[in-house]
């Protein structure tokens, strides 16, 4: 997965940054709060997004960009919740980039969206280098990935603005202490808020959902 990064010149990143900034401005103009949800396959990104959609969709207008090598599977889960969803198939690529998001934005009625959630491709490495135009970068990690997963992927934790340690209900079964994971994240990024979540504990999801709601309100200045 690292190969393409090694082969790519800085020009690719610079071009992507420029396009990401264009996306960001477009989203800002329409007062859309955009979130980039990153994390490995199995970290529970789709489920975290579903829970947020369910909790917020009666009060806010939500849309989802579902990024994946084959994005239709997750996209259908979001469509079932009744929110506009654009699948962004990356083909062979293991990350979304600003160009794919630009294309997806063309299919959305931005004037009628308050919150745009972008599910990135399951990967802890290259999404780091590709800004999409988001306002908030979130990294989700599951306890089932093991407690050395954090320090093995420092950049994504250093560059994210919110971290979610998910599936904490199975921590004992997989012999991982979520507090150790949290400590490792804070070693890498002392400023980042770290949430512990489980889809089976609705109370634990409130802070996650609250962050999104705060973002929407900030974007609208309310």
Question: Cβ of residue 25: shortest distance to Mg ion, in angstroms?
Answer: 28
- Rounded distance between C-alpha atoms, residue 49 and residue 208, angstroms: 10
Q: Which residues are CB-neighbours of 113 under 8 A, at least 6 positions away?
A: 30, 32, 61, 62, 63, 84
Which residue is at the shortest CB distance from Zn ion?
126
The label of the residue with tokens 């093991």 reads: 146
Q: Choose which of 16, 36, 43, 46 interacts with Mg ion (CB under 5 A).
A: 46
Q: Which does 94 bind (CB under 5 to 8 A by kind): Mg ion, Zn ion, none?
A: Zn ion
Question: Cβ of residue 3: shortest distance to Zn ion, in angstroms?
Answer: 9
Does residue 94 bind Zn ion (CB under 5 A)? yes
Q: Which does 95 bind (CB under 5 to 8 A by kind): Mg ion, Zn ion, none?
A: Zn ion
Piece of the chain touching Zn ion by CB under 5 A; list 15-23, 46-54, 92-100, 186-194? 92-100
The dihedral of CA 42, 119, 123, 69: what is its sign? Answer: positive
Does residue 74 bind Mg ion (CB under 5 A)? yes
Q: Which does 97 bind (CB under 5 to 8 A by kind): Mg ion, Zn ion, none?
A: none
Does residue 126 bind Zn ion (CB under 5 A)? yes
Q: Choose which of 43, 44, 85, 95 interacts with Zn ion (CB under 5 A).
A: 95
Q: Which does 43 bind (CB under 5 to 8 A by kind): Mg ion, Zn ion, none?
A: none
Residues 136-139: contacts with CB under 8 Å, at least 24 apart? 136/33, 136/34, 136/35, 136/36, 136/161, 136/162, 136/211, 136/215, 137/35, 137/36, 137/38, 137/161, 137/162, 138/35, 138/36, 138/37, 138/38, 138/162, 138/163, 138/164, 139/38, 139/39, 139/163, 139/164
The dihedral of CA 145, 36, 77, 164: what is its sign? Answer: positive
Q: Which does 126 bind (CB under 5 to 8 A by kind): Zn ion, Mg ion, none?
A: Zn ion
Give 12 or 94: the residue with its C-beta nearer to Zn ion. Answer: 94
Give 119 or 147: the residue with its C-beta nearer to Mg ion. Answer: 119
Does residue 184 bind Mg ion (CB under 5 A)? no
Find, among 165, 151, 162, 158, the residue nearest to 129 by Cα: 158
Q: What is the binding site for Mg ion (CB under 5 A)?
A: 45-46, 74
Q: What is the binding site for Zn ion (CB under 5 A)?
A: 94-95, 126
């Amino acid at each position: 997965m690292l190969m393409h990064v090694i082969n790519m010149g800085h020009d690719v990143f610079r071009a992507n940054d420029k396009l990401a900034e264009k996306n960001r401005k477009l989203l800002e103009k329409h007062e859309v709060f955009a979130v980039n949800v990153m994390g490995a396959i199995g970290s529970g990104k789709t489920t975290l997004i579903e829970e947020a959609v369910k909790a917020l969709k009666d009060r806010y207008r939500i849309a989802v960009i579902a990024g994946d090598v084959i994005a239709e599977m997750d996209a259908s889960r979001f469509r079932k919740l009744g929110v506009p969803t654009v699948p962004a198939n990356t083909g062979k690529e293991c990350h979304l980039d600003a160009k794919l998001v630009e294309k997806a934005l063309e299919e959305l009625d931005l004037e009628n969206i308050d919150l745009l959630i972008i599910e990135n491709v399951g990967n802890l490495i290259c999404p780091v280098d590709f800004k999409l135009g988001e306002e908030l970068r979130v990294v989700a990690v599951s306890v089932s990935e093991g407690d050395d997963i954090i320090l093995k992927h420092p950049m994504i934790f250093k560059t994210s603005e919110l971290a979610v340690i998910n599936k904490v209900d199975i921590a004992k079964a997989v012999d991982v202490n979520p507090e150790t994971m949290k400590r490792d994240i804070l070693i890498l990024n002392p400023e980042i808020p770290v949430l512990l979540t489980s889809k089976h504990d609705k109370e634990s999801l409130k802070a996650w959902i609250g962050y999104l709601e705060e973002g929407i309100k900030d974007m609208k200045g309310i």
